[in-house]
Amino acid sequence: MGKLTGKVAVVTGASKGIGAAIAKELGAQGASVVVHYASSKEGADRVVAAIVEGGGTAVAIGGSVAKSAEINTLFAEVKKTYGKLDILVNNAGVYPFTPIDQVTEEVIQQVFSINVTGLLLAIKASLPLFPSTGGSIINIGSIASVLASPSMSVYNGTKGAVDSITRTLAKELGSRDIRVNSINPGPIVTEGSASLVEGDFAKALIAQTPLARIGKPEDVAPIVTMLASDDAQWITGDLIQVSGGLR
């Protein structure tokens, strides 16, 4: 029996990268998993197949977190399929390279609408599905919020917002026994980050990392299980850095 047997989990942006690893880990721990995706149905179907092959339960549901109607449809589907929700992992995110002289209103709106507005609206839409015994919301932030690397002001700003939202909603939802925490990874090799975490940039990051490597999605996923499980029943409003010690 896994640590999450009987629980229902939604992982946004789980067709690839960190979200896919989290979905597989939660499935292996016994949760019924909703593998959410925006455009990569094939990727999401592969994640569902991997969970089912391992003896777990999962479904893929599409939609953009940048569109409130599609968020509402996602949680209506979750209600219809599983009747409740115990774990929400807000992982969907984008991280374009944006030196300030290339920043446009459109870029700001696009990145904030996915990384911040989508996260807030997903939490709002999920709340009626949590049982009276509560549950766990896990936001995937980033050490970008404190590392403040240049040419990433828009992205770094979104992850600073995620830190603040996590601390605020932990206080707001504590009375409902809904815990809200963030995992803030350092650089992780994924489909989306491959070009950012190679070459001289990667060498400089590794040189500053006590554990001296770039991270893998599988470094992040077990920490989600910990925060989702009763092992973390007394933890809320925390930001856990998963970065090999990079600060």
114 binds ligand NAP per the rule CB under 6 A: yes
3-state secondary structure of 208: coil
For position 246 contacting ligand NAP by CB under 6 A, the verdict is no
Compute φ and ψ for 63, nearest 5 degrees: 140, 155
Does residue 198 bind ligand NAP (CB under 6 A)? no
Contact between 233 and ligand NAP (CB under 6 A)?
Answer: no
Residue from the set 28, 33, 123, 140 that interacts with ligand NAP by CB under 6 A: 140
Catalytic, 82? Answer: no
**Cβ distance to ligand NAP smaller for residue 20 or 173:** 20
- Output the DSSP codes for 25-89: HHHHTT-EEEEEESS-HHHHHHHHHHHHHTT-EEEEEE--TT-HHHHHHHHHHHHHHHS--SEEE
Site for ligand NAP in 44-83 (CB under 6 A): 64-66
The arrangement of strands across the sheet holding 87-90 comes to: 57-62, 32-37, 8-11, 87-90, 135-140, 178-185, 239-242
Give me the catalytic one of 37, 82, 95, 155: 155
Interface residue with ligand NAP, options 29, 91, 209, 241 (CB under 6 A): 91
Which residue, 27 or 93, has its beta carbon nearer to ligand NAP? 93
Q: Toward ligand NAP, which CB reaches closer, 66 or 180?
A: 66
DSSP state of 213: S
Residue (of 47, 42, 45) closest to 18 by Cα position: 47
Distance in angstroms (rounded) separating the CA atoms of residues 223 and 241: 10
CB of 156 to ligand NAP, least distance (A): 10
Would you count residue 244 as binding ligand NAP (CB under 6 A)? no
Active site residues: 155
Chain positions contacting ligand NAP, by CB under 6 A: 12-19, 37-40, 43, 64-66, 91-95, 114, 140, 142, 185, 187-188, 190-193, 197
